Amino acid sequence: MRQGLDVVSLGAGLGLIAVGGLLLLDQAGSLELTIGLAGALMAGLIGMILLLSGLNDDER
């Protein structure tokens, strides 16, 4: 593990909690995910993770 705050993990974690929550609601029948909404959610989540990763990269 790296030391200190890892913004990538934080952003990805929050995003996954949000997406997982929506998926849970969909599977429970409380809301109806459409393909357009699901695609936008996934694209947004992956894009955010890549962006955070690129902007905070310290692998080298």
Q: Which residues are near other proteins by CB under 8 A?
A: 1-10, 12-21, 23-24, 26-28, 33-39, 41-42, 45-46, 49-50, 53-54, 57, 59-60
- Smallest distance, other proteins to C-beta of residue 29, A: 10
Q: Which residues contact 31 (CB under 8 A, 6 or more apart)?
A: 22, 25
- Smallest distance, other proteins to C-beta of residue 58, A: 9
Please spell the DSSP secondary structure of 17-54, one letter per residue: HHHHHHHHHHHTTSS---HHHHHHHHHHHHHHHHHHHH
- Smallest distance, other proteins to C-beta of residue 51, A: 9
